[in-house]
Amino acid sequence: MPELPEVQIVVNQLVIRLERARIRAIEIRDPKIKLTKDLAGHKIRRIRRRGKNIIVEVSGGLHLLVHLRMTGWFEFNRPKRYRAAICTTRGTAYFEDARRLGMMQVVTTEQLDRSLEQLGPDPLLDGCDLSGLRTTSRAVKVALLDQRLIAGVGNIYASESLWRARINPRRQSKSLRTDELRRLGRGIVASLAQAIAYGPRIFEMQRFAVYGREGQPCRRCRARIRRIVQSQRSTYYCPRCQK
């Protein structure tokens, strides 16, 4: 599932190719996507990200709000299958989404603000404020997936960040000391920044510290990585580094 780094990589590509262009048409190939307004003729003023949301700001006070969900991605060479395409004077972006769970809708500024105000702080835009973790007794790994507490972190980077911070994923969130929250904040920012730096080839090049490495040696202490299930999601951690 695309998390904050993958979404930022997509945004970076969209900015280069589509920002300041004029929309010629938005082609919809999947009836599950229903746009309430025709954006043909509107100029793309800005493309940005908040949490896992892609926000395409266009003229006329409107925004194309996109969420990639499980399998969404944008390609710039026409693929065999795609759900929608943003056709502009500078090029076309094709919205691929094998599981058809991604979201694309046109919203006003007021509607956008209402949607985004439900999100917690974005660690790369607002600073990594983890004070919300102190409000819950849930396991810290589970709490990190709550977008109301911290926006953009998902299953992969929660595991990676906890490894960096040497925090056991089963710890109660409210039990974390101030110094541990600071370590976790640094771990989150470092994990996200490292992933973004891979760029469009992230899926080919990325090397994880713990995620997906059950039974393999920890890159720090060589203990065997373990996998547990928390809230129906796989969690990977080092039993020695993250006691």
Q: What are phi and psi of 43, to 5 degrees?
A: -95, 140
Catalytic residue among 50, 52, 138, 141: 52
> Quick check: is 177 catalytic?
no
> Quick check: is 79 catalytic?
no
State how far the Cα of 51 lies from the Cα of 150, in Å rounded to an integer: 8
State how far the Cα of 46 lies from the Cα of 57, in Å rounded to an integer: 5
Contact call for residues 211 and 228 (beta carbons, < 8 A) = no
Contact call for residues 72 and 102 (beta carbons, < 8 A) = yes
Catalytic residue among 37, 219, 226, 233: 233
Tokens 């926000």 locate to 55
> Quick check: is 121 catalytic?
no
Catalytic residue among 2, 5, 123, 169: 2
Tokens 């046109």 locate to 106
> Quick check: is 46 catalytic?
no
CA angle 120, 129, 67 (to 5 degrees): 30
Q: What are phi and psi of 21, to 5 degrees?
A: -85, 165
Burial readout 197-230 (b: 16 or more C-beta within 10 A, e: otherwise): ebeeeeeeeeebbbbebeeeebeeeeeebbeeeb
Catalytic residue among 3, 6, 57, 160: 3
| Positions marked active-site | 2-3, 52, 233
